[in-house]
Amino acid sequence: GDEKFQVVHNDGTRESMVLLTGLKNIFQKQLPKMPKEYIARLVYDRKHAGLAIVRPTLRVLGGITYRVFEERGFVEIVFCAVSSTEQVKGYGSRLMNQLKDYIRTAFEGRVEHFLTYADNYAIGYFKKQGFTKDITLEKSRWMGFIKDYEGGTMMQCTMVPKVRYCEVRELIALQRQTTKELVQAKCHSSQIHPGLVEVPVDPLSIPGIKEAGWTPGMQASPERSVRSAENRRMQQLVHSMQAFPAAWAFLHPVNPDEVLDYYEVITEPMDLSTMEAKVDADEYRTRDAFIYDAKLIFDNCRTYNGEGTTYYKCANRVENHFFEKIREWPD
């Protein structure tokens, strides 16, 4: 899009005040348990700074308020939020990656650690950004310096040397491609063997069959009639879910161009169109395998999206519909 990431301090200029006010408004709306006066005081405090996602009109979409303790080697994340209309677009991860790269460059490696107090709703987000509850930073360096929130969980992130966080996706893609090329160089799965001249023959005598891991037990197939009846039930249930009003978010795979970090967070994606294709191909050999894929859809959604979001609620509604139908099936 046309948005940019901009570091902003309270230097008294009109643009800075507009951006800081935009951050304040988002934090006050997205963090309702925090007193509004407290948020305003810290956002405008000259010891703190902000990293804002900004449109050309100076409209703020989200951001982070933080404080650098340079002599102690850490940054305190004070507030972090994205406007409700801009969530599930990967802004949260991009924000934290931008901040990490900025801090490393601006302070020439002298500041390596991030500390924050996260409430229960934010713990999942911070874990995705590399934060952990295991605090390894010496207590004497941070005790009495960062703000302690009742009911919050202290979390720490230590930056990995030489990693440019804004380029992590490209780095992982390069690693995958390199690994794939190394595997292909040592693997002969693409080798084409000549066809058979005579039949019948022992399958294990066919070049490449044994190497592929085939065993005689793989010839056995389950009762077709039993699987067919179960398959029809699966097909009907997938169609029922596709027609369910709350299932709109799960009809197709998540677009990585729209949700940039989705496939970094979700390692086993699933959606209704994929389930439909697997049912049509009769790939579900057991009911448990079918239920497993359906639960993936719901669990993935709740893992990526915070409780209280529209997506989270949709996952709960579709899951209830799914299991209501499953309970109607014969044992």
- Residue scoring higher pLDDT (244 or 222): 244
Least confident of 183-187, 247-251, 281-285: 183-187
pLDDT of residue 220: 54
Where does CATH 1.20.920.10 sit in the chain? 224-326
Q: Rounded mean pLDDT of the chain?
A: 88
Work out the pLDDT band at 167, boundaries 50, 70, 90.
confident
The span from the CA of 258 to the CA of 14, in Å, is 33
Three-state secondary-structure class, residue 5: strand
Three-state secondary-structure class, residue 200: coil
CATH code of the region 224-326: 1.20.920.10
- Provide Rg for the chain, Cα atoms: 26
The span from the CA of 233 to the CA of 227, in Å, is 10
156 Rama class: left (phi>0) / alpha (psi -120 to 50) / beta: beta
CA 287 to chain centre: 28
Which residues participate in catalysis according to the annotation? Answer: 76
Torsion angle, CA of 249/254/257/258, rounded to 10 degrees? 20
- Residue scoring higher pLDDT (161 or 216): 161
Question: Stretch 12-31: mean pLDDT, rounded?
Answer: 94
pLDDT in tens, 265-316: 899 999 999 999 999 999 998 999 999 999 999 999 999 998 888 899 999 9
- Residue scoring higher pLDDT (305 or 214): 305
CA atoms within 13 A on the CB side of 93: 22
pLDDT of residue 194: 76
CA 236 to chain centre: 30
Where does CATH 3.40.630.30 sit in the chain? 4-168
Is pLDDT at 10 greater than 80 in this prediction?
yes
Mapping DSSP onto H, E and C, the string for 274-329 reads HHHHHHHCCCCCCHHHHHHHHHHHHHHHHHHCCCCCHHHHHHHHHHHHHHHHHCCC
Q: Which amino acid is at 209?
A: I
**The whole model's pTM is what?**
0.56
Decide if domain 4-168 falls under CATH 3.20.20.70.
no
pLDDT in tens, 41-66: 999 999 999 999 999 899 999 999 99
